[in-house]
Amino acid sequence: MEDPVAQHHPLLPHLFRQEYVKMTAVLSRHFGLQNIEIAEDIVSDTFLKATELWSSQGIPPNPTAWLYTVAKNSTKDYLKRHTLFETQIKTALGTGELQAEQEVDFTLQTITDSQLAMIFAVCNPANSTEAQICLALQILCGFSVEEIAAAFLSKTETIKKRLARARANLRNDNFQIRQLQAETIQSRLDTVLRTIYLLFNEGYASSSGNHLIRKDLCSEAMRLALILTENKLTSTAKANALLALICFQSSRLDAREDHTGEAVLFEQQDKHLWSRELIEKGNYYLINACSGNEVSKYHLEAAIAYWHTTPTDDNKWEHILQLYNQLVILEYSPITALNRTFAFARVYGKTQGIQEAEKLTLEDINYYHSLLGYLYTGIDTGKAIKHYQKAVTLTKSVSEKKTLTKEIERLMLTP
């Protein structure tokens, strides 16, 4: 999916990110999931009309309502124009519910229900877990192919092929977007949670583009997680733990970059900029998540994020390291191993941290080199600069390049 409005009025990209997936979910419920491309085409055309008309006529008083009205009218026009829909597609669906005169319902409840059902429909067991996540990120979260590739540290062409196969399986699945059943939720919830998790991670530390933080993605992840916790069938311990993690991490977003867009290290952040409201919400959802005996990666990461939001004490990093030790065993990933190594260095010192980091040999990952650059600072300036320079060549983030380059320049001026 390509964003048709990214280069136009600054309001449109925001509305596209916020409303595209909602409109697509409702229309897919209306047309049937097999015809998701019809829904996507109508919504894309709606935004193209906004691009053309708003440029010449100005922005309407209620832009969101304008978009929904145009989408509703476009749906009516489509059904009237395409008699094949009535004679062939409708017959294939085996349902008499779709009538040309039927109005599309864009009420808040329908939007919420459609999105919840849609994400479980997209997470189709016929596809691999990776393909399910890619498809959900594209359809439900508005990710571009490039953003999905960055989230998976994969090549763009690989993601394109994965999406093509996944969409074919989605059309053939005959999944009806209706009332969710407990069996469906149980079989697909883990993939749903991982999708939201990846969405938030890309917003929290964007792996590409001009911005370190993309608050629109973070907000979208929080919104989707909140939908899960507000439904009794999907408000599981894992879902609450994930929302707790998102709240804790989001509480520090305003302090993580300065007015120029450069990253601010944790130790240098202005704690007055941390959101106490989000920290309290994180505490609330973490308590909900711990009502049973289940311990998932989301529980552990939420606990780590909790310790980051607490006042500094002598044992803080020991607690964080212990949690990372559990997390690496539960579900290993290169980024988790690197984060654990940072915590290890905070507990045992930079020299031992370097030894621990170099055991990982993650030469192709920019975070590996930026971590070693940090650890060598104050020990071996030459090696610190070398690793930071390697990190600059590997990262796709413009913001991160600026931050790393600034640190290299600082080190070069150090006696």
Q: How many Å apart are CA 327 and CA 179, to the nearest integer? A: 35
The letter for the amino acid at 344 is F
φ/ψ region of 124 (left if φ > 0, alpha if ψ in -120 to 50, else beta) reads beta
Domain coverage including residue 346: 331-415
Is residue 51 within 8 Å of 4, Cβ to Cβ? yes
Tell whether 119 is covered by a domain.
Answer: no
Is residue 104 within 8 Å of 71, Cβ to Cβ? yes
Of 76, 69, 100, nearest to 87 by C-alpha is 100
Q: How many Å apart are CA 219 and CA 250, to the nearest integer? A: 9
Q: How many Å apart are CA 243 and CA 225, to the nearest integer? A: 6
Q: How many Å apart are CA 50 and CA 89, to the nearest integer? A: 29
Half-sphere exposure of 306 (CA within 13 A, CB side): 20
> So what's the pLDDT on residue 5?
45
Q: What is the pLDDT along the chain (415 residues), one digit of tens a residue?
A: 444 444 445 678 778 877 888 899 888 888 877 888 889 999 999 999 998 898 888 889 999 999 999 999 998 888 777 655 556 555 655 554 444 446 777 888 888 888 888 888 888 778 888 888 888 888 888 788 888 887 777 889 999 999 999 988 888 776 666 667 788 888 889 989 998 998 888 888 876 556 678 787 888 889 889 999 998 889 999 999 999 999 999 999 999 888 877 778 787 888 899 999 999 999 999 999 998 889 999 999 999 999 999 876 778 999 999 999 999 999 999 999 999 999 999 999 999 999 999 999 999 999 999 999 999 999 999 999 999 999 999 998 888 888 899 999 999 997 7
Of 399, 400, 350, nearest to 370 by C-alpha is 400
| Pure H helices in 173-181 | none
The dihedral through the CA atoms of 191, 194, 200, 206 has a sign that is negative
Tell whether 149 is covered by a domain.
Answer: no
CATH number of domain containing 345: 1.25.40.10
Tell whether 56 is covered by a domain.
Answer: no
> So what's the pLDDT on residue 7?
44
The letter for the amino acid at 305 is A
Tell whether 354 is covered by a domain.
Answer: yes
Give 267-315 as a DSSP string.
GGS-GGGS-HHHHHHHHHHHHHHTSSS---HHHHHHHHHHHHHSPP-TT
> So what's the pLDDT on residue 208?
59
Tell whether 391 is covered by a domain.
Answer: yes
Helices 145-152 & 156-172 angle (0-180, nearest 10): 110
Q: How many Å apart are CA 243 and CA 199, to the nearest integer? A: 13
Give 16-48 as a DSSP string.
HHHHHHHHHHHHHHHH-GGGHHHHHHHHHHHHH
Give 102-156 as a DSSP string.
PPP---HHHHHHHHHHHHHHHS-TTS-HHHHHHHHHHHTT---HHHHHHHHT--H
| Pure H helices in 156-214 | 156-172, 182-204
Q: Could you give phi then psi for residue 229, rounded to 5 degrees?
A: -75, -15
The letter for the amino acid at 255 is A
> So what's the pLDDT on residue 210?
61
CA distances from 291 to 225, 246, 294, 366 (A): 18, 19, 9, 38
Tell whether 205 is covered by a domain.
Answer: no
Is residue 230 within 8 Å of 180, Cβ to Cβ? no
Between CA 21 and CA 228, with CA 112 as vertex, the angle to 5 degrees is: 100
> So what's the pLDDT on residue 141?
81
Say how many Å lie between the first and final Cα of the chain, rounded.
Answer: 51
Tell whether 337 is covered by a domain.
Answer: yes
Six-digit token string for 72: 């509703």
Domain count for the chain: 1
Tell whether 356 is covered by a domain.
Answer: yes
Between CA 138 and CA 146, with CA 144 as vertex, the angle to 5 degrees is: 125
Six-digit token string for 103: 């109005």
